[in-house]
Structure 1
Amino acid sequence: MASCKAHSAPAAVLVGNLPAPLAEPAGLPEGFPQTADSPLAWIGAQFSKEDEYILQLGQEDIREVEAALDQFKGLDGDLVSRNNFPLPQLGQKLERVRQDIHKGRGFGVIRGLDPHKYSVEDLTMLYLGIQSYIANRHGRQDRKGNMLVHIVADKSSSLTAGHHRHSTAPIRQTFHNEEAGDVVSWLTRSTAASGGRCIIASCHTVYNVLANERPDLVRALAGSDWPFFIPRFQCRPVLFNHDGRIIMNFGRTPLIGNPTHPRPDHLPSLSPRQLMALDAVEKVARATELEIVTKAGDIHFINNLAILHRREGFINGASANERRHLVRMRVRDDELGWAIPEDLRDEWSEAFETKKSKVWHLEPMPSGYFPLRKQPN
């Protein structure tokens, strides 16, 4: 039987009624700050205007990216990068987004591409070209080397219909991070007829509220006894204080399981305190979240080490333009990328090891090629 050995300024929003402690609250773990003082500690209500986090491409910007696309298509055999996708003017604006992702609020949206104007191949190259100005390294998203994950509704089987990537249900997703990748980006090829908004929350705000109100739960989150079982069985913290940064990385499914990913009976379950800590994270995140209305052609970027995300349910329409289709990637910036805690390095190595195979499917993957895991590898 597997087992784990445990090691031993509040947000500007009132988040009350956190669950009562199971025992007398202890102080914060050694070295953890009382307040994570950072632009990353935001609440959704402070963003009164979309242009605070959306870079709207103008006509000149569109002409510049199309000229870069034409130049790239004249080359032979190279992957899109800054070196072969020149954006001398727009690149300066994208640099500000890059700095925001790594040193500022931790998220941003590029808006203005018309996805119906381009072929699938050209749209993908535009996505990669713009993305290259935010982060330079691409990450594999599974052990088969898939680089592009297509997030679409799929009711072809009970497995796909119940998986968060392919479900339309409104209640299946709680706040989480992806298991690897400094930055998660996605291109919206098309939106649903209704619903499907992106919803994000700040890990730093969650931390600040819990550090002020429930330091005992911070200690629980920082403990090394959380029994993750996806993508492999591993006991590690949910919350890290690493290299001077507060980092969070977790998902409920790898810790609890769900009908699509049932948790093996022989693995340890979460303790009541751990369940309480997860519920507290969710409560604070929902009270401070930011909902972003997504448009076709949008390119989203979130700092996966500092931003939690989920999405609402959605209803697809009859036409192809009313069916939600996102293309997701994991990326890392060699210059601005954060130092990765040791407990997360295996997944980062698996994702960003340059010598491993990479496969680029421009359309949703053939059945079985991107398997939906039932058990840990």
Structure 2
Amino acid sequence: MTVHVLEPACDWRAADVADETRWTLELSPADIAELEAALACAKARAADLLDVTRDDFPLPSLAPRLVEIEAQLIDGCGFARIRGLPVERYSDDDAALIYWGIGMHLGKPWPQNKHGHLLGDVTDHGKSGADSTSRGYELGGVALPYHSDGSDLVGLMCLRKAMSGGISTVANALAIHNELVRTRPDLAALLYEPQPYDYRGEEPKGGEPFYSMPVFTEHAGRLFVRYIRPYIEASQRHPDAPRLHPKAREAFDLVDAVCADPAFNVYMDLEPGDMQFVNNYHVLHARTAYEDWPERNRKRHLKRLWLETARLTDRPEKFRNFSSHWAQKRTKSELKLDA
């Protein structure tokens, strides 16, 4: 196939986004008061966080700025940070509800796993990477490579950071696509072909333990990216999964190398109360290894949202919310670390 540069307006290098104020919303005392009023309103209207809608979490002054963030995520640099929430004032449940409320202004919730979690916990779940059913959000301490998640947007809110390490980083997958188009069009074209992904034990009942998707998909003039190399490699444990071509691994190696190039990535150390939102189709995210606190109630802990944005009105079939069997349930993670 013939490949070509896509969405040049969203193609950035690190130097283009070096000014953190371009992608950071600093909450003012008035903003925090508005969030606390919305928290009280939501708690009065709904007993369950999952029942809280955008209307239940009114943000008259913040909402227009969240609309701007949503536009930046889809038609701009593809990532944003909200900073300054005094998370130490709140219980984990109240902090999660504030985060959920903000999320509802950015999109509709999207199931994250076979449990149907619409709000997840990213922390050490005591699982090992050697466990064939483990997923990144469950692994403690280890670095996570650059990857995308299975939704339009992914959000993380830091409740508590690690004793050291655990730095978040993002890389511009759209810029990497365009770089490959210019320099290695043969490998770029190969990444438009379906690649196998391990379901990690979360496949449909009676279904194959792997699925196939291209890394790059063009649809309605936009680029859609799905890249989780550990799951691609893990698919090879299934004898019926398509075998990876050496050229595919060459392409993956090149993607990984460009992600690691400082010209293509941005590091941010998320402080407690910080919220990061990323466009999964334009930006890959990762984290560095970390050393955790020994006390359970101090361990690194982030809350996670997957969201569908109304700003995208057309998607390929496999990139649509609730097209997955995971959507048969609607739950939230109940992990408690603050007690």
- TM-score under structure 1 normalisation? 0.79
Matched, 1:332 2:301: no
Paired position in structure 2 for 1:219: 189
The CA deviation string for residues 63-104 of structure 1, in whole angstroms up to 9 with x for no partner, is: 011111112222245722221211111112212111111221
Provide the rounded CA distance (Å) in 2 between the counterparts of 1:175 and 1:195: 16
Equivalent residue letter for 1:274: A
Identical aligned residues as a percent: 27
- Pick one of 35, 43, 65 that aligns with 1:73: 43
Q: 1:108 to 1:351 in 2, by over 3 A?
A: farther
Partner of 1:13: none
The 5 Å alignment of 1:133-282 reads 133-135=105-107, 137-155=108-126, 159=131, 164-171=136-143, 173-178=144-149, 180-224=150-194, 226-230=195-199, 231=203, 232-257=209-234, 263-282=237-256
Going from structure 1 to structure 2, the CA distance change for 1:212 and 1:308 (only over 3 Å counts) comes to same
Cα displacement string for residues 259-311 of structure 1 (whole angstroms, at most 9, x for unaligned residues): xx872244332101100011111111111111111101111110111111111
How much does 1:143 deviate?
2.5
Greater Rg over alpha carbons, structure: 1
CA contact (8 A) 2:46 2:52 kept: no
Q: Quick one: distance in 2 between partners of 1:266 and 1:68?
A: 51
Gaps of 5+ in 2: 204-208
In 1, Cα distance between the equivalents of 2:133 and 2:239?
24
Q: 2:293 aligns with which of 313, 317, 334?
A: 317
Does the C-alpha gap of structure 1 residues 264 and 192 become closer, same or farther in structure 2, counting only changes over 3 Å?
same
Aligned-residue Cα RMSD (Å) equals 2.5
Aligned position for 1:306:
282
Q: Which residue of 2 aligns with 1:56?
A: 26
Structure-2 change in CA distance of 1:167 and 1:72 (3 Å): closer
The one-letter code matched in structure 2 to 1:58 is: S
Query: For 2:324 and 2:245, how far apart are their aligned partners in 1?
Result: 30
Structure 1's 279 and 338: CA in aligned 2 closer, same or farther, altered over 3 A? farther
- Whole-angstrom distance in 2 between the partners of 1:351 and 1:88: 36
Q: Comparing 115-124 with 58-67, which one deviates more in the overlay?
A: 115-124
Aligned amino acid, residue 31 of structure 2: D
Q: Report how far residue 349 of structure 1 moved.
A: 1.1
SS at match of 1:269: coil
Which whole-Å CA distance do the structure 2 matches of 1:251 and 1:114 have between them? 33
What one-letter code is carried by the residue in structure 1 that aligns with 2:315? I
Question: 2 CA distance for matches of 1:166 and 1:363?
Answer: 11
Residue type of the alignment partner of 1:174: P
Query: Gapped runs of 5+ residues in structure 1?
Result: 1-28, 366-377
CA offset at residue 344 of structure 1?
A: 4.0
Letter aligned with residue 104 of structure 1: G
Structure (1 or 2) with the greater strand fraction: 2
**Letter in structure 2 aligned against 1:59:** P
Residue 103 of structure 2: aligned partner: 131
Residue 86 of structure 2 is matched in structure 1 by: 114
Q: State the one-letter code of the partner of 1:187.
A: M
Find the aligned partners of 2:312 and 2:189 in 1 and give their Cα distance. Answer: 26
Greater helix proportion? 2
Partner AA of 2:124 in structure 1: A
- 1:146 touches 1:361 (CA, 8 Å); kept in 2? yes
